[in-house]
Amino acid sequence: MWLLPNRYRSSSEILTTSHSDSDAAPLAELTPQLEDGYGIKVLHDPQQPVVDIVFVHGLTGGQVSTWAAEGAAQPWPQSFLAKDIPTARISAFGYDADVVKVFGQAGQNKLRQHASNLVACVADLQFESKSAPPIIFVAHSLGGLVCENMLTIASSGEQHWREVLESTIAIAFLGTPHRGSDSASWAKIAGNLVNVARRTNTSILGVLEPDSEVLENVTNDFHNLRRSREDDGKKKVQITCYGEEKAMEMGGKSVLVVPTQSASLDGCTFVTLSGCDHSSMTKFGTKNSEYGKVRTQIKRWIQAMTPAPGSS
């Protein structure tokens, strides 16, 4: 199911785990399910979803391929998470994450376009499907900033956009740079992201000067939105930040692409994905403990949506 460019409901159905799933991703014979595109692609669509889980890739990533281990026939949100949380509708958002376009002269406008498209796609998905459950976003790297910018834009948008903000209950940030750190300035972190992209995209030529101010403005606006909503007594969006443990080779040096201090947010849980670098932290090939760290947190968020039996 594809959608291009309304909310809370209670449910006694929360989590049901399938017992027929494998601990390893199925090997690819044909991989049509790994084809990337733009907009929303629904990977798992239960009849009465109790939650929407939306995955957002990062710089030069792909709508579906970002979330697939090498040799896997399906991305893990489809092969693993859909079986572990079958009552969730699981979707992946794709956008043009070419590094030149994101960090070029019109970079800030480009990020805003992606963010606007994301909120429009999610709003359309819930409207067209006539189901508007709470929403959880799982975002990697720069995709986390797209999510942050999306919620900021939604806060001052039309009613159906504001409803996306009000329905968002949680975000899992995987290697998202929220700020500069003592060991790495914003410009350095942005440069790391560009270097990773250049390693995987041979069409990128020349030296790119990343506009780190774009990233800083987006994340500052998001922090201001969080504070203002808390001041207004509105329900907090739950956040867990995940960081990389392994460095990547860049320019003859081993560096953490997004250092821990940058990948974390004050007052939010921070979890390290052991043995993962900035790229592999999105590609779970087995139901290992690192996959479990993400899955279990999502389960906690879903379980917290409905009061326990007997509570008022």
In the CATH scheme, what is the code of domain 2-15+30-303?
A: 3.40.50.1820
Per domain, the residue ranges of the chain are 2-15+30-303
Q: Helix/strand/coil (H, E, C) string of 97-111?
A: CCHHHHHCCCHHHHH
First to last CA, the chain: 38
In tens, the pLDDT along 224-241 reads 999 999 888 888 899 999
The mean pLDDT of 19-27, rounded to a whole number, is 43
**Residue pLDDT, tens place only, 77-108:** 999 999 999 999 999 999 887 655 555 544 44
Element (H, E) at 173: strand 168-174
The percentage of the chain sitting over the pLDDT mark of 90, rounded to a whole number, equals: 54
Q: What is the pLDDT of residues 288-303, one digit of tens each?
A: 999 999 999 999 999 9
Q: What mean pLDDT is predicted for residues 139-162?
A: 94
Residue 294, H or E segment:
helix 289-303
pLDDT in tens, 252-269: 778 788 889 889 998 999
**Amino acid in the structure at residue 217:** N
| C-beta of residue 243 within 8 angstroms of C-beta of residue 274 | no
Prediction pTM value: 0.81
CB 150 within 8 Å of CB 119: yes
Average confidence (pLDDT) over 138-144: 93
